[in-house]
Amino acid sequence: MKFGLVVPTYRSILDAGRTAPEMVAVAVEAERLGLDSVWVGDTLAKAPIDPLTLLGAFAARTERVTLGTAALLPALRDPLLSANAILSLDLLSQGRITLGVGAGFAGRSEPEFAFTRVPWERRRARLDDIVALWRHVWSGKSGPFHGEVLHYDTLPEYPEPHRPGGPPVWLAAFTPGALKRVGRSYDGWLPYPPDVADYADGLAKIREAAVRPVTPALFATVLIEDDPIRARERLEDYAQRNYGVPLDFVEKIQVQIAGSRDEVAERLREYGEAGAEHVLIRIATQEPAGFDEQLPKVVEALPR
């Protein structure tokens, strides 16, 4: 299994005192600690540091780790300009970019689409079209592109990417339709189901329908805390501050792992046995000091 760190970039951690240069330092530390990748999120709802800009800074300060988005919302950006920005990152990082992408979460993402004047309707078809368009231009094609939503009669010419065909693109989704689309149109799968059996079942469905290799990944929220009562309280605080909803609601949707080092390791190992090959770790705290204190503990707990 490979393990990556999700670097918090949202407004809440900035308000708590984390600076943008310190975010870059976190990525450098993650590489020093032996992690395989570092990732950043994307949203307009909480005004984060721009993920593509931040990955450029990560690329300049790291040498080995994969640099990724977990997850980018491509619909919020012009498709051709984002294709160029991502290609630039690919060249600057010498092929270390991996893109987790999503179509938005119903009940939360609609305002972001409204901010950028992008229709919420047909958002999944729009996402698939954007990814197909990226691959089209990254492959050196400048001829017409006509998808279900996007249509271009002519396209600009792009330089050749570092990696043939450009960066791999993983779909962050878990709906039945998404499981079919992953194996047809994407290079990886990035869900966060709280039930290991659901993860295994979803991966089996993807492999049944796949026409291309797919990297099975996992987005997991983790906290090292020996006291089970305190662990629950800290997860509750994180859910309220991050989403504004109770933990009981969040943990029905996302995998939340809190406990001792051994308990966290065992839970992650279960997902590995279910097929997860690359696990993205989000540390459940909004406080910079708490994050920095948790990071080495989490790394020590990772099953290898």
- How confident is the prediction along the chain (304 residues), in pLDDT tens digits per residue? 999 999 999 988 999 999 999 999 999 999 999 999 999 999 888 767 999 999 999 999 999 999 999 999 999 999 999 999 999 999 999 999 999 999 999 988 999 999 999 999 999 999 999 999 999 999 998 889 999 999 999 999 999 999 999 999 999 999 999 999 999 999 999 999 999 999 999 999 999 989 999 999 999 999 999 999 999 999 999 999 989 999 999 999 999 999 999 999 999 999 999 999 999 999 999 999 999 999 999 999 999 8
HSE-up (13 A, CA, CB side) for residue 156 = 10
**What percentage of the chain's residues is helix, strand, coil (to nearest 5)?**
45, 15, 40
| Residue 2, burial from CB neighbour count under 10 angstroms (0-12, 13-18, 19+) | middle
Domain count, the chain: 1
| Residue 57, burial from CB neighbour count under 10 angstroms (0-12, 13-18, 19+) | middle
Whole-number Cα distances in Å, 268 to 183, 209, 237, 252, 300: 24, 26, 22, 17, 13
| Residue 47, burial from CB neighbour count under 10 angstroms (0-12, 13-18, 19+) | exposed
Instruction: Give the pLDDT score at 264.
Output: 98
Instruction: Give the pLDDT score at 47.
Output: 66
Q: What is the CA radius of gyration of the chain?
A: 19
* Number of residues that this document lists for the chain: 304
Q: What is the pTM for the complete model shown? A: 0.97
Structure tokens at 296: 């080495």
C-alpha to C-alpha distance for 228 and 88, rounded to whole angstroms: 46
Structure tokens at 263: 């308990």
- Residue 112's CATH number: 3.20.20.30
Whole domain around residue 225: which residue ranges?
2-301
Per the listing, tokens 């290609």 go with 87
The residues, ordered by sequence, that sit 6+ positions from 82 with a Cβ below 8 Å of its Cβ are 52, 74, 130, 134
Q: Characterize the bridge pairing of strands 188-189 and 169-171.
A: parallel
Contact present, 190 and 219 (Cβ < 8 Å) = yes
Instruction: Give the pLDDT score at 44.
Output: 87
Structure tokens at 239: 């859910």
C-alpha to C-alpha distance for 202 and 191, rounded to whole angstroms: 9
C-alpha to C-alpha distance for 9 and 242, rounded to whole angstroms: 12
